Structure 1
Amino acid sequence: MQKLWGRTSSSNVMKVLWTLEELGLDYERIDAGGAFGRTREPEYRAMNPMGLVPTWQEDDGWSVWESNTIARYLCNAHAPDGTLYPSGPRPRAEVETWMDWILGHLVNPMVVIFFTHVRLKENERDWNAEKKAREDCARLWKIVDARVANQPFMCGQAVTLADVALGCWVHRWFSLPIERPDLPNLARYYETLKTRPGFVKHVALPLE
C-alpha cells in the first residue's frame, strides 16, 4: 500500500493528509519525525535526503518529498482533471502563485509566532521577534482577507491546493493566544474551510 511518512502534528504533513482526504485515496501513514525519530535512519534518508517529513512512498518503492510537490503529484496522478489542482495553465498558475506566496512570505513569520507560543520554553522565547512576526503576518493576512472578499476560496468557487497549503496557517492564526486585527473576510474564510471534512479531521486540531 502507498505510504505517507510523517507525524500528524506537522503542518506539512497536515497538508498532504488533507489532500489525500479530498482525493479519497487509501494509504498507510507511518509516524516519523519529531519524537518518533526515523528520519535520520539510512533507509529514510534514501527516500528523503533532507531527513524531514513528509515523504510519500509508492507501492514500488518510488518516493517523493516536499509537501507541495507531494500534493501536486497526488492530484496529477489521481485526479488530473479535477478542480483541486486545475489543469488549465492560467487557473493552475493562480493556484501555484498562492502556494509559492505562502512558502515565500507567510510561513516564516507564522512559524515564529507558533513556536513562541506553543513549542519553545519560556526562557527561549524572543518576544521582540514575536511582535515583529505578528505585525508582518497582520499585513499578509490583510492580503488574504481582500482576496476572499467576494469568493469562498482562494481561487474562486472550488477548494484548491492553494487553500490546502494555507489552511494550517489560517487555523493557527485564529487559534493562537495573540492579538489580531479584525479581518471579517478572513474569519468567514476560516469558517468555510471548516466545512471541508479533511480540514476538520487533519488540520483544525489542538495546537501542539
Structure 2
Amino acid sequence: MLKIWGRTNSVNVKKVLWCAEELGLSYERVDAGGPFGVVDEPTYRALNPNGLVPVIEDDGLVLWESNVIVRYLAAKHGAVHLYPAGAAERARLEMWMDWVASSIMEPYRQLFWNTVRLAPERRDHAAAEKGLQDLRGLLAIADRALSKQPFLSGEALGVADIPLGCVAYSWFNMPIERPDLPHLQAWYQSLTGRPAYQKSVMIPLT
C-alpha cells in the first residue's frame, strides 16, 4: 500500500493527499514533521536526507518533493485527465506547478507563518506585509490565466491546479486584505466543491 509521510497541515503534504484522493487511492499516512518530529530520526533521513515532508513509499520506490510525487502518482495510475500523456501538454501543466514552487512559496511562507503559524509575539509584520504585496502581484498572473479558461490545467482540473490550489485555501481564509481577483476566486470556489479537496485541503489553518 502507498505510504505517505507528513502532517496534514503542511501545504506540500496536502498536495499529495489531494492527488491521492482524486485518484481514489488507498494509502497509509504517518504523521511526521512539525510537532510530530520523526524527520530527524535516522530511519526517516534514510528516506529523505533533507528531513522534510512529504515522503512516499510505493512498491519499494521512495520519493520526496511534492510536485514530483503528484506527477508520479498521476502517471503511474494512468490519470490522463489529470496529467496528459503528450510531452507538450505535460510541460504546460508542469510549468504552473514549478511556478508555484519557484515564485509563490517563499512569499506565501512569509505571509502564512507571520499571520497564522507563529505566536503573535514572534511575528515579523514587515515580512508578512512584503509577502502579501508580492502575492498580490503573483496571483494576478494566475487570475489573468484563469480569465481565459476555468482551470490552470485547461478545461478541467489537472496537476497544474494542485500546488496553487493548496495555497489558495490559506489565501482565502487568512485574516488579510485581498485584492479583487474574480477569476481566481471563481476557480477557488470550484475547488471547494470537490470532495477530495474538502477532505485533504480544507482543514483548520495551523
Helix, strand or coil: the match of 1:161? Answer: coil
Scaled by the length of structure 2, what TM-score is found?
0.96
Where does residue 95 of structure 2 map in the other structure?
Answer: 97
Look up the equivalent residue of 2:74 and give its one-letter code: C
The 2-side partners of 1:2 and 1:127 are apart by 40
Where does residue 44 of structure 2 map in the other structure?
Answer: 44
Helix, strand or coil: the match of 1:146? Answer: helix
The 2-side partners of 1:200 and 1:156 are apart by 21
Helix, strand or coil: the match of 2:160? Answer: helix
Scaled by the length of structure 1, what TM-score is found?
0.95
Helix, strand or coil: the match of 1:109? Answer: helix
Give the alignment partner of residue 130 of structure 1, picking from 128, 140, 151.
128
Where does residue 58 of structure 1 map in the other structure?
Answer: 58
| Matched ranges for 1:16-165 at <5 A | 16-60=16-60, 62-79=61-78, 82-165=80-163
Structure 2 alignment gaps of length 5 or more: none
Helix, strand or coil: the match of 1:44? Answer: helix
Once the two structures are TM-superposed, the CA of residue 77 in structure 1 deviates from its matched residue by 1.2
- Matched-pair identity in %: 49
Look up the equivalent residue of 1:13 and give its one-letter code: V
Once the two structures are TM-superposed, the CA of residue 132 in structure 1 deviates from its matched residue by 1.5
RMSD: 1.1
Q: Is the 8 A contact 2:114 2:124 kept in 1?
A: yes
Consecutive aligned runs of 4 or more in structure 1 exceeding 2 Å deviation: none
Where does residue 193 of structure 1 map in the other structure?
Answer: 191
Look up the equivalent residue of 2:35 and give its one-letter code: A
* 1:142-181: CA deviation from partner (whole Å, max 9, x where unpaired): 1111111132111211111111111111111110101111
